[in-house]
Amino acid sequence: MKYIVILLLAAFVSNAQIRKEQLDLMPWPQNINLTSGTFMLTKQFKVNITGNSDARLFIGTTNFLRRLDSRTGLFLGQEYVTKINEFPEAELLINCGRKGKVGLNEDESYQLSIVSGKITLNATNDLGALHGLETLLQLMQNNGTSFYFPAVEITDSPRFTWRGLMIDAARHFQPVDVIKRNLNAMASMKMNVFHWHLVDDQGWRIEIKKHPKLTQLASDGDYYTQEEIKNIVKYADERGIMVVPEIDIPGHASALLSVYPEIGSKQSVGMPYTVGRRSGIYDSALDPTNPKTYQLLGEIFDEVCPLFTSKYFHIGGDENNGKEWNANPAIEEFKKGNKITSNHDLQTYFNMKLIPMLKKHDKRLMGWEEIMTKDMSKDAIIHAWRGGNEGVTPGGALITAAKNGYNTILSNGYYIDLMLSVDGHYLNDPLPKNIALSPEEKARILGGEAAMWSELVTPLNIDSRIWPRTAAIAERLWSNDTITDLNSMHRRLKVISSRLEEVGVMHIRNKEVILRNITNHQDTRALNDFTNICEPLKNYKRNGGGKKYFMYSPLTLFADACTADASDAYDFNKAVNQYLENKSPENQIVVTSFFRKWIAMNNDLIALSANAPLIQPVLLMSNNLSMISKQLLLAIEEKQNIDKKALNELLEQLTIRNSADVELAVYASLKRLL
């Protein structure tokens, strides 16, 4: 008979009073006051909007109704919301005073009140109202037969005004549907800035009508048309999200220079630029001494700026290694003639030329922290990103920028492509309590941004790299700085992960696609079990200096099915901690059940591998783990003496890099058991 593990992702609840800590809210609201009673959801449920509202709230409310309906199967009768005051007797009343302005420092607060039979959502403007609707969806409970909301009073507003996600659509192109489902997910986590990294060494992704060659020659056919960009900006605006485009210059310019080598800094014209096919930092840089450089950039900005409604334009500015500038005598000459003593200052010279080009379109320049030099305009926004990997104090540029009078945002600590645990991202506060800044300086720290670089992500695996972990970053940027309990965060993140499917995120379903490919469409359960204790190599170790994968290589392997924060590893590590504290039979059985699972898993993987070449690379690890598990079972259950040295050797073998490109996330706990 089949044995079912019933995963009570949402804890069973009767209509009895729920406790605050049982709510699955993320980001956690500023004030929650649970009162008594419940609001029962029925087929008759309707919404009425009053105040000054327009399309954004109508669309948002319609989407809210559809999501409520798809989750409950109630076939609600209210169709498309298109006007105010349509159903004055409705059970959900939304009132907001005016249309919000998507951008920084707008009031995003809301007040939500639920009592039996009536829900009231008030907000200064529609942006706050949209946030309130997301909270309402997260509040929904159910028993075995009905859906309902607990009676509650919530007042809420964000801590930071910049709560962003950056997606690199240049290295691996991300089609419109990928962007849209991520915008949906961002809105559900109350994030409000989508930073769109649109060009890099590996591709030029924006249609430029005056320069069609840019996409003809440097996009491999993968780019956004201007219409698509405008459409996405509108789609984001409907969800309260500002879109900040990035054109990364003067470095990261191989794609641009492959089309217009004449504005590159290479000394010899006999060495053409080509579109990058691998990861890593390229030397290619625009020539800041060439007037043609600025003419072309001006023409590009003239087309790109009007596509976006945001006041901010990101010009990149990172990782220009200066090699081409140093090697070019004419550029060296120019520096001398203009009393420019460093490449950094030369880059500032370049950046300052961009400011008026952007100002013409009412845009403010922002850039990665390297743009911050003594002559840089105070009007620029500094995007802090570097840390230990780059040999500097993590996020140090954020503090320096705030002290030097710049508005600034933090991405160091939010690099989700590093595949590190969500715990670190969650506890990474742009404004820690003990920070030595004046109130004015603190006010310049606008918030932060998760950064999804795309060397190793395709439309198939990108969702599982961004979600659900970015929800924890969203909470850091929205909620009170006292909300730091990791256990609570992990518990809620599990539920949020499920809920993200509702808005179209594909992290769960696409993992199954990868597993089916690896198993050659055999049963995926054993392989799935293994993904739950393995994590992709961290800190850019997977792609060995950018040499292993090409940008056009599909990513459909075991490491692509694995994620950071492997779920069983999290549970096993907890179980080992408890067992080592107290070797009770109950604690022992939790630990040993994992060993049994892994022994069975290994047997299954061996059986499956007879018809699935892609399983071969993981067999070495699963075999070792199975042998270790057997020995530990003997030691723990039978109190047998085992050969600890041999076992340690087996365990250490698990740390040797192998072709599966993952690390065993239970390694440390196993080591502690030995």
Catalytic residue numbers read 319
147 is a site residue for a copy of itself (CB under 8 A)? yes
Residue 617's CB is within 10 A of a number of other CB atoms, namely 18
508 binds a copy of itself (CB under 8 A): yes
Of 36, 145, 434, 641, the one binding a copy of itself by CB under 8 A = 145
Of 434, 435, 382, whose CA–CA distance to 411 is shortest?
Answer: 382
Please provide the DSSP assignment of 395-457 as one string. Answer: THHHHHHHHTT-EEEE-TT-BGGG---HHHHHH--SS-TT----HHHHHTEEEEEEEE--TT-
Nearest to 166 by CA among 499, 409, 507: 409
Which residue, 323 or 516, is less far from a copy of itself as judged by CB?
516
Contact 566, 574 (CB under 8 A): no
- Please report, as residue ranges, which positions from 565 to 604 form the binding site for a copy of itself (by CB under 8 A): 596-597, 599-601, 604
User: By CB under 8 A, is residue 8 in contact with a copy of itself?
Assistant: yes
- Between 391 and 613, name the residue whose CB sits nearer to a copy of itself: 613
Residue numbers 9-38 binding a copy of itself by CB under 8 A: 9-10, 12
In the list 423, 429, 502, 571, the residue contacting a copy of itself (rule: CB under 8 A) is 502
Tell me the C-alpha distance between 87 and 291, whole Å: 62
From 68-76, 319-327, 377-385, 441-449, span contacting a copy of itself (CB under 8 A) = 68-76
- Give me the least distance between CB of 27 and a copy of itself, in Å please: 20
Choice between 39 and 334, CB closer to a copy of itself: 39
Rounded CA separation 615/606 (Å): 8
- 657 interacts with a copy of itself by CB under 8 A: no
Please identify, among the stretches 109-117, 260-268, 289-297, 503-511, the one whose residues bind a copy of itself according to the rule CB under 8 A: 503-511
Examine residue 66 and tell whether it contacts a copy of itself (CB under 8 A).
yes
Closer to a copy of itself by CB, 336 or 547: give it: 547
Give the SS3 label for residue 128.
helix
Q: Which of 16, 19, 21, 73 binds a copy of itself (CB under 8 A)?
A: 73
Site string for a copy of itself, 387-416 (x = CB under 8 A): ------------------------------
* Closest distance to a copy of itself from the beta carbon of 475 (Å): 20
According to CB under 8 A, which residues from 480 to 499 bind a copy of itself?
A: 495, 498
Q: Are 196 and 167 in contact (CB under 8 A)?
A: yes
Task: Render 227-251 in DSSP notation, one character per residue.
Answer: HHHHHHHHHHHHTT-EEEEEE--SS
Instruction: Say if residues 105 and 114 touch (Cβ distance below 8 Å).
Output: no
User: Closest CB to a copy of itself among 34 and 176?
Assistant: 176
- What does the DSSP 8-state code read for residue 19? P
- Give, in degrees to the nearest 5, the angle at Cα 503 between 45 and 243: 115
Q: Tell me which residues in 612-641 interact with a copy of itself (CB under 8 A).
A: 612-614, 616
Provide, rounded to whole angstroms, the least separation between the CB of residue 68 and a copy of itself. 9
Give the C-alpha separation, 349 to 367, whole Å: 14
Would you state the structure tokens that stand for residue 42, as one six-digit string? Answer: 């029925």
Among 46, 71, 99, 541, binds a copy of itself (CB under 8 A): 71
Q: Which is nearer to a copy of itself, 552 or 643 (CB)?
A: 552
Of residues 167-196, those binding a copy of itself (CB under 8 A): 175-177
Neighbours of 330 (CB within 10 A): 12
**Which of 17, 309, 543, 553: binder of a copy of itself (CB under 8 A)?**
553
Taking the complex as a whole, the smallest distance from the CB of residue 232 to a copy of itself amounts, in Å, to 13
Phi–psi pair at 174, nearest 5 degrees? -120, 110
Which two tokens mark 301? 């900005």
Site for a copy of itself in 245-304 (CB under 8 A): 277
